[in-house]
A and B are shown apart, each in its own frame.
Chain A
Amino acid sequence: MILVWLISILFVGGVIAWLSERINPNFPRLIALITVLLDLALMLTLLGAEPSSGGWVASVEADWIPRFGISFYLAADGLSVLLLLLTGFLGVIAVGSAWDEIKERSGFFYFNLLWTLAGVLGVFAALDLFLFFFFWEVMLIPMYFIIAIWGHENKNYAAMKFFIFTQVTGMLMLVSILALAYFHYVQNGVISFNYHDLLTVQTSGSLEMWIMLGFFIAFTTKLPSVPFHAWLPDAHSQAPTAGSVILAGVLLKTGAYGLIRFAVPLFPEASMSFAPIAMTLAAISILYCAKVAFAQTDIKRLIAYTSVSHMGFVTLGVYAWNEQALQGAVMTMLAHGLSAAALFMLAGGLQHRIHTRSMPDMGGFWAKVPRMAVVALFFSVAALGMPGLGNFIGEFLALLGAFQANITLTVVSAFGLILASVYSLWVIQKIFHGEYKNSEFDDSHLTDLTRREMVYFGAMMIGLVWMGMYPQSFLAMSQPVLLELLNGTEELFAAVVQN
C-alpha cells in the first residue's frame, strides 16, 4: 500500500502546488518541497521492511482492466528501493535547484516536476507490463512541458525531439508487450500482463529476437545508447536546471532498470545471442560520446555526452550478465545519478549567473568563485572514476564483470576511463583556471555558491563518498535481487563465453 501512497502523494501534491500559485507565488515551491520530503521519508520506512518470500518489501495488487488481464500491480524489492530512494533524493535536490531559478508560472512548473517524479516511481515499482508502459509514458508529458516552457533558446526543437524519440520507441515496446501477452494467451489460455506470468512464456527463434528488440530499442533510447542518443544533448542543453537534474539523474535510469528487470530476464536466449551486439554498441557509446563530448563548447551539451558515455558502462554490465557486472551497472546508475545531477546543477548555476553556456567565453573563475570551483572539481573527479568515490566502484565492477564475458570489448571500453579524465579535467581547466575572462558576458552576478546550494552539493558529496568508501550497504540491497534474476539464466550466458 505504501507504494500507492508514494505515487499518489506526488500526483496530489502536484495539483495542490499548481492551484496554490493563485494564493501566493511562493507557495508552489514550498508545497513541492514538503511533498518530496514526505515521499522521501516514506521511502526510508521501506528500508526497515521485512522482505517477503520473493524478496518484495512492499507490494499491492488489484484488478484494473480484467478484460485484458491487466492488474494494478506495484511491488518493490531491493533494486527498486535503491532506485526509488535515488528518485526521492534527487527530487528534493531538483526542487532545491529550481528554488530561485523558476520565477514564472512556478505553480505549473512544480506540478510537472512532481508528476514526472510520480511517473518515474511508477516505472520503478510496476510489475504489470501494461502499468509499466502506462507510467513509462506518463512521465513524458510533464517532462515535455518542463523543457518546452522553461527551457532555453531552442526549446521547441529539443522538447519535440525528446518526445518523439521516446514516444515512438515506446510504441515499439508496446507492440512487444502485447505480443508477449498474446503468447501467454496462446500458451496458457488467459491474457496476462503480469511480470511473473510473462516470465514463464516460452518464445523462441527470430520472433523472440524481434520482440526483445522492441524492448531493447525503447530502453536504449531512454538510456541512451548509440545510435538512439541524438535527443539527449538537445534536451539537456535546453532544459532548465531542475529538468536536467531529473533527466540525467533518474529518467535515464529507467532505461537501465528496464534492461535489467525486463529486457534480459524475459528473453534470456535472444538477449544472449544479442549480447555481443549490445556490448559493442556500449563500447561505441563509451568511446564515441567521450570523444564528441571533448569537442563541445556548450558546457551542458558536454555533460550530456559524458552521460551517454557513462551509461555505456551500464549497458556493458547488463549484457555481461553476471553478478559483478550487474552490481557494477547498478552502482554506476546510482553514482552517475548523483554526479551528473550535480554537474548539471553547476552548469545551470553558472548559466543562471552569467547567462551563457559557452566555455570559450569562460576562464579563470577560481579566484572569483572558489567554493563553486572546488565543488566542480570534486564532481568532475568523481565522474572520471577516481577511486574512493561511487563512480569508480560502479565502472570498475562493470568492467570486471564484462571481462569475464568479452575480453576484447572490455579492453576497448576501458579506454573510456582515460578519455573521461581528459575531458573532465579539461573542463575544469577551461572554466576555472587560466586568465580571468569576462569580455563576453556581464559578470556582476557571478557570485559564489550560497549556503543553501552548498547544502545540496554537500549531501550529494556525502552520497558519493559513501558509495565509494562503503559500497557494501548498497550492494547488499541489490544482491539478492540480482542473484534471483541471474538464477537459471547465467548458465546460458556463461555457455556463450566458453564457445
Chain B
Amino acid sequence: MNITLADLIPLLPLLITTGTVVVAMTAIGIKRNYTLTAVITIAGLLIATLSAAFLMPTTNSQVTPLMILDQYSLFFIIVTCATAMFIAIFSYPYLADLDDNKEEYFLLLGIATIGAIVMVSSNHFVSTILGLETLSMSLYGMVAYPVHSEKSAKFPLEASVKYLVLSAAASGILLFGIALVYAQTGTLQFASVVNVANVTEGLSAGFTIAALILVFIGIAFKLSLAPFHMWTPDVYEGSPLPATTYLATIGKAAMFVVLLRFIEASEALTFESFVLVVSLVATASILAGNLLALLQDNLKRILAYSSIAHMGYLLIALVASYFVQGSISVEAVTFYLVAYVIMSAGAFGVASVVSSSEREFDSIDDYKGLFWRSPWLAVVFTGMLLSLAGIPLTVGFIGKFYIFFAGVEAALWVLLAVLIIGSGIGLYYYLRIVYRMLLTDDEEQRFDVAVGNNLSSHAVLAFLLVLLVVLGVYPTPVVSIIETISTYIL
C-alpha cells in the first residue's frame, strides 16, 4: 500500500506534535533553556490544536489500517492537544524551582500527547497498544519526575513504580484478551465479535465473553474503575500535580474513547453477561468512589476517588448505548468526557497554580478561607467542584443530564438509582471543600495567591471557567457538533 502525501494531511496534528517534541529535544541538545523548551511545547500543541480544528469539518479517512481520522477522532484530538497545552502552561511555574534538570519534562508531556492522539484515532488493536504504551511510558516518567529533587515532599518514585507495575500487569491482561478476540475474529481491526465464523476450531461463545471481559478489565484498570481502582489515590497523591492532572484528564479521556469505539464496533453488549459485568463495574465504581472519597482529607485523593465515580457514571451511558435507538448515548459519553476534562483540569489547575514542586497544597485545610483571601481562585474552584457535583449553570449539569437522558431511554432504572445515590453522597465531599473555603481565615498565610507571578496559568483558569459556564448555560453549539460527530462511531 502506497502512502501519498495527501494521505498524510489528516495526520497533521500527530505530525506537528511529533515535530514539536523533536524540535524541543534539539533545542535542549544545543542549549538548556527552560523557558524556551516550555514555549516550544506550548506553541507546538497550540498549532496542533488549530490544525485539528481546521481539518475537522472536511476530514474523514482511514490512514493505513491502523488509524481512523474521522470527525470524532479530530474532535478528541482538539480536546487532547488543548488540554495538554493547558497542563504545559500549569507545569511551567510549577516546575520552575525544581533543583534538577527540568526541560525534559516537556518532552515527556509531548510524547504522552502523541500516544493520546494515536489512541483517540485508533480502531485497531495494534495502534491501541502503541498509543497506550507511548502514553503510559511517558506518564511513568512524568509521575516520577521530581525523584532526584531533594526538596520534593511527595513520593514520586513510589507512585511511579506502583503505576508501572500495575499498569504493566493490566496491559498483559489486555493483550491476552486481544489474543482471544483475534482467535475468534481473525482480525486485529475493531470488528463485530457476534456471529463470526470461528477462525479457530473449537472456540465457543464462552471464549468470546471471556475475551471481551479480559479486554474490558485491562481497560478498566487504566480508567481506574472499581474493583481495579486501588492504585489511583496513591498515584494521584504521589505524583506532581501537573502529572496528576494529565493522568486524570487526557489519560482517562483517551482510554474511554478507545473503549467506546471497541464496544460499539464489537457489539459486545449483545452478550447479556457482558452487560451484567459492565453494569456491576459501574455500580461498584460509583459506590466505592463516592463512599471512599468521604473518608479523605487530601484534595488529590478526594479527586482521585471522585474520578472513579465519574468513570462509573460514564459506563451507565455506555451500557445504555445498546438499548437505545440512535446516537444519544454516544453523545452522552462524548459530552460527559468533555465536561469531565474541563472540570478536572480546572480543579487540579487551581491546586497547581498555588503549588510548586517544593510544596504542594493538597490538604483541603490549606484552602480554608480562600473565599476571603482570593475570591477569584475560590470562585474558579467552587465552580469546578459544583460542576463535578452536577449543579446547574455548569457544564457538569448538562453532562449529567445527558447521562440521565440516556439512562431513562434505555430504562436502566437500577443504574439510575445508583447514580442518584452516588451523586447524593458526592455532594457531601464536594461541599466539604467548598465549606472550607467559606470559613473565616485564621490569619495563617498558607500560600501566595497573587495573580501577578503566573498570569498565563490564571488566564487558562479563566478560560476553563468561561467554558464551564457557557457550556452549562448555552450548550447548543457543542451539542450540535457532538450530535454530528457521534454518527461516526455507530
Residues of A that sit less than 8 Å from B by CB? 63-68, 105, 108, 130, 133-134, 137-138, 140-141, 144-145, 148-149, 156, 159-160, 163-164, 167-168, 171-172, 174-175, 178-179, 182
> Which residues 377-428 of B sit at the A interface, judged by CB distance below 8 A?
386, 391-393, 397, 401, 404-405, 408-409, 416, 420, 423-424, 427-428
Residues of B with C-beta under 8 A to A149: 438
Interface segment among B59-67, B137-145, B250-258, B476-484: the answer is B476-484
Q: Establish whether residues A137 and B420, one from each chain, have CB atoms under 8 Å apart when the complex forms.
A: no
Q: Which 4 A-B pairs have the closest CB atoms?
A: A168-B424, A178-B408, A137-B392, A171-B420
Chain B interface size band reads 20 to 34
Q: A137 is contacted by which of B397, B434, B474, B479 (Cβ under 8 Å)?
A: B397
- Complex alpha-carbon distance, A67 and B401, angstroms: 13
Q: What are some 6 contacts across the A-B interface (CB < 8 A)?
A: A67-B480, A149-B438, A167-B423, A168-B420, A168-B423, A168-B427
Residues of B with C-beta under 8 A to A145: 438
B475 at the interface (CB under 8 A from A): yes
Residues of A with C-beta under 8 A to B391: 137, 140-141, 167
Q: Establish whether residues A182 and B372, one from each chain, have CB atoms under 8 Å apart when the complex forms.
A: no
Residue of B nearest to A167 (CB): B427
- Complex alpha-carbon distance, A67 and B482, angstroms: 10
Kindly provide the distance from the CB of B428 to the nearest chain A CB, expressed in whole angstroms: 7
Q: Establish whether residues A156 and B401, one from each chain, have CB atoms under 8 Å apart when the complex forms.
A: no
- CB within 8 Å for A138 and B479 given contacts A160-B431, A163-B431: no
Residue of B nearest to A119 (CB): B392
Q: Establish whether residues A160 and B428, one from each chain, have CB atoms under 8 Å apart when the complex forms.
A: yes
Q: A156 is contacted by which of B397, B435, B475 (Cβ under 8 Å)?
A: B435
Q: Establish whether residues A175 and B431, one from each chain, have CB atoms under 8 Å apart when the complex forms.
A: no
- Complex alpha-carbon distance, A67 and B392, angstroms: 18
Q: B424 is contacted by which of A140, A167, A175, A178 (Cβ under 8 Å)?
A: A167
Residues of B with C-beta under 8 A to A134: 392
B243-255 near A? 1/0 per residue, CB < 8 Å:
0000000000000
Given contacts A134-B392, A144-B431, A156-B435, 4 further A-B contacts (CB under 8 A): A67-B480, A137-B397, A148-B435, A171-B424
- Complex alpha-carbon distance, A432 and B438, angstroms: 37
Residues of A with C-beta under 8 A to B427: 163-164, 167-168
Q: Establish whether residues B428 and A65, one from each chain, have CB atoms under 8 Å apart when the complex forms.
A: no
- Complex alpha-carbon distance, A178 and B438, angstroms: 35
- Complex alpha-carbon distance, A33 and B397, angstroms: 32
> Which residues 411-457 of B sit at the A interface, judged by CB distance below 8 A?
416, 420, 423-424, 427-428, 431, 434-435, 438
Q: Establish whether residues B409 and A182, one from each chain, have CB atoms under 8 Å apart when the complex forms.
A: yes
Residue of A nearest to B436 (CB): A156
For the residues of A in contact with B, the DSSP-based class is helix
For the residues of B in contact with A, the DSSP-based class is helix
- Complex alpha-carbon distance, A67 and B480, angstroms: 7
> Which residues 219-263 of B sit at the A interface, judged by CB distance below 8 A?
none
Kindly provide the distance from the CB of A205 to the nearest chain B CB, expressed in whole angstroms: 15
- Complex alpha-carbon distance, A272 and B201, angstroms: 62
Kindly provide the distance from the CB of A490 to the nearest chain B CB, expressed in whole angstroms: 31
- Complex alpha-carbon distance, A27 and B420, angstroms: 42
Kindly provide the distance from the CB of A106 to the nearest chain B CB, expressed in whole angstroms: 13
Kindly provide the distance from the CB of B363 to the nearest chain A CB, expressed in whole angstroms: 18
- Complex alpha-carbon distance, A66 and B474, angstroms: 11
Q: A174 is contacted by which of B386, B404, B424, B431 (Cβ under 8 Å)?
A: B404
Residues of B with C-beta under 8 A to A64: 474, 476
- Complex alpha-carbon distance, A145 and B438, angstroms: 8
- CB within 8 Å for A182 and B431 given contacts A171-B424, A174-B401: no
Residue of B nearest to A164 (CB): B427
Q: Establish whether residues A67 and B404, one from each chain, have CB atoms under 8 Å apart when the complex forms.
A: no
> Which residues 71-118 of B sit at the A interface, judged by CB distance below 8 A?
none
- CB within 8 Å for A175 and B420 given contacts A105-B372, A141-B386: yes
Q: Establish whether residues A148 and B438, one from each chain, have CB atoms under 8 Å apart when the complex forms.
A: yes
Q: Establish whether residues A67 and B479, one from each chain, have CB atoms under 8 Å apart when the complex forms.
A: yes
- CB within 8 Å for A175 and B404 given contacts A65-B475, A163-B427: yes
- Complex alpha-carbon distance, A115 and B423, angstroms: 24
- CB within 8 Å for A65 and B392 given contacts A148-B438, A175-B420, A178-B404: no
